[in-house]
Amino acid sequence: MAKYRVLTINPGSTSTKVAVFDDETEVFSKNIVHAAEDLAAFAQLTQQKPYRAALILEALQENGIDLSSLSAVVGRGGGLLAVEGGVYIIDDLLLSHAEKGANGVVHPAQLGSLLANDIAKEYGIPAYVVNPPDTDELEAVARLTGIKGVYRNVHLHALNLKETAIRHAAAMHKKVEECNFIVCHIGGGVSVSAHRHGKMIDGNDIVGGEGPMAPTRCGNVPASEIIDLCFSGISQKEAKALCTKTGGFVSHLNTSDAREVVRLAEEGNQYAALVWDAFKYQIIKEIGAMAAVLQGKADGILLSGGIVHSQELVESIRQSCSWIAPVSAYPGEFEMEAMAAGAIRVLNGSEAVKTYSGKPVWNPKELGL
C-alpha cells in the first residue's frame, strides 16, 4: 500500500495536465485540452481558474480518484519573484504573488498554485510548488553585464532540469549534491544550465532572449542589431514577441515544429538545413560555455525535452561534446514526476520545506551596486 498519494497540476497555454502518484508510481494522468475559443472568453488569466478547476475535478471523479485519499497537492509554480530552488509551501503571500504575477511574466503556470491550494484547503492537506519557473541560483559574478544597472536574471525549465539531474545522480549511486552536470532542456524552449553540487549556478534566460535559438525564441542576438530593429518601426510588443513567440524556427521558416524543419531539410531545403544546423551549433556552443563555468569538472551532459527524441540531434551533441563529459539522453520531460517527487521528499522528511519570502534572491544593493 502506498504511503503517500500526491496530486499534481500543471496548467499550460492550451491544456492542463493532471496526474496522481502513489509514492513514485503514476496511477492516473490526463492532459485536459482547452479549446482556444473557451480560453478566449476570459479577459484575464486568473479568470480561467474556475473553468480549469471544474474540468480537473470532473476528470478525477470520472477516473475514481478519491480526493480524501490525497496526502498533498502540487501546483506548477509561476508568477513569483526569483527564488532558490526547492519545495515551497503554498501560503497567502505565495498565492498573492502568483495571482498578480509579481515577476511581470503572464503565464498559465501562475494558476498552478491557485488550483492546488483550493483542493488542498478543502481536504486539510498541504499544497506545494516545486522548483518553480522563477528558480534562480546564479552566482553574483554571473549576474553583471557591461551596462551598469542591467543585471542578468534567468528563467529556465528548472523543474525538469533539476529532476533530470537528480535522476541521473541516482543512477550513478550518488546524491545530486555530490555531482556537477551540464543539463539541457531542448523543446519549445531551450535551457542550458550548469549545476554545481545541486545548484543551477548559471544558465540562459529563455524569456529574455538568451542562449540558443528555439522553435519560437530568438536566443542570443547582437545588441546593436536589436537596437536598429527596435527603431525600424516595429512595436515594443512585436520586439518582445521575438523573444518567446515569433523568433527561432517561426521567424525563419514559419513553423515551430522541429520535425517539420528536419523534414524540409531532408527534402533538400537548404535554408531549413542551415537553420537546423545552426540550432544544434548554438546548443553545442552553450554547452561549452557551461563547461567552462564548471572549470571542466562535469560528471555528465544531460539532455531532456521533446526534441531529444531526435537521435540525430543527440548524436551531433555527443560528437561535439563527449570530450567534456559523457552525454546521456532523457527524451521528454519529468515535470509531473518531479512535482510529486518533491512533495514526497518533504512528506517523508528527506527535504525541508521552504517558505516563500516575497523578496528576490538577488538584490544588487546588498553588494553596493
- 3-class DSSP state of 281: helix
Q: Which residue has the higher pLDDT, 288 or 240?
A: 288
- Comparing 5-136+336-367 with 158-332, is the CATH topology the same? yes
Phi, psi of 169 (to 5 degrees): -60, -40
Of 21-30, 169-178, 279-288, 360-369, where does mean pLDDT reach its minimum?
360-369
pLDDT at 1: 67
- pTM: predicted TM-score of the whole model, two decimal places: 0.92
Neighbours of 268 (CB within 10 A): 8
pLDDT at site 363: 84
pLDDT value of residue 36: 87
DSSP assignment of 287-320, as one string? HHHHHHHTTT--SEEEEEEGGGG-HHHHHHHHHH
- Mean pLDDT, rounded, of the chain: 95
**Residue 129 and residue 159 in contact, taking contact as beta carbons nearer than 8 Å:** no
Taking CB atoms within 8 Å and a gap of at least 24, the contacts of 275-282 are: 275/249, 278/213, 279/212, 279/213, 279/214, 279/248, 279/249, 280/313, 280/316, 280/317, 282/211, 282/212, 282/213, 282/219, 282/220
The continuous run of DSSP H or E covering 199 comes out as strand 199-203
Count of alpha carbons within 13 Å of 20, Cβ hemisphere only? 20
Let me know: does 195 contact 183? Beta carbons within 8 Å. Answer: yes
Which pLDDT score, from 0 to 100, does residue 104 have? 86
The residue extents of the domains of the chain are: 5-136+336-367, 158-332
Stretch (H or E) spanning 356: none
Instruction: Give DSSP secondary structure letters for 204-236.
Output: --TTTT-SS--SS---S--HHHHHHHHTTT--H
Helix, strand or coil for residue 51?
Answer: helix
Which cell numbers hold the place of 267? 527534402
pLDDT at 208 over 90: no
Give the gyration radius of the chain's Cα atoms. Answer: 21
Sequence-distant (6+) residues with CB within 8 A of 244 are 189, 206, 207, 216, 217
Residue corresponding to grid cell 524552449: 189
CB environment 324-356: b (16+ within 10 A), e (fewer): bbebbbbeebbbbbbbbbbbbbbbeeebeebeb
Quick: pLDDT tens for 324-335.
999 999 999 899
Tens-place pLDDT, residues 263-293: 999 999 999 999 999 999 999 999 999 999 9
Q: Helix, strand, coil % (nearest 5) of the chain?
A: 45, 20, 40
Give all strands (DSSP E) within 23-171, no chain letters.
25-33, 72-75, 87-89, 127-130
What is the CATH number that goes with domain 5-136+336-367? 3.30.420.40
Contact in structure between 205 and 322 (CB atoms under 8 Å): no
Write down the pLDDT at residue 244.
86
- The CATH superfamily of 158-332 is ATPase, nucleotide binding domain (3.30.420.40)
Model pLDDT for residues 109-163, shown as the tens digit of each residue: 999 999 999 999 999 999 999 999 899 999 989 999 999 999 998 889 999 999 9
Higher pLDDT, 38 or 1: 38
Cell reading at 187: 523543446
DSSP readout, 326-353? -EEEEEB--HHHHHHHHHHHHHTTSS--
Q: Can you tell me which residue has the cell 546593436?
A: 224
Q: Are 115 and 9 in contact (CB under 8 A)?
A: yes
Can you read off the three cell numbers belonging to residue 358?
Answer: 516575497
- Dump pLDDT digits (tens) for 88-103: 999 999 999 999 999 8
Q: Is the pLDDT of residue 2 over 80?
A: no
Give the Cβ contact number of residue 367 at 10 Å. 10
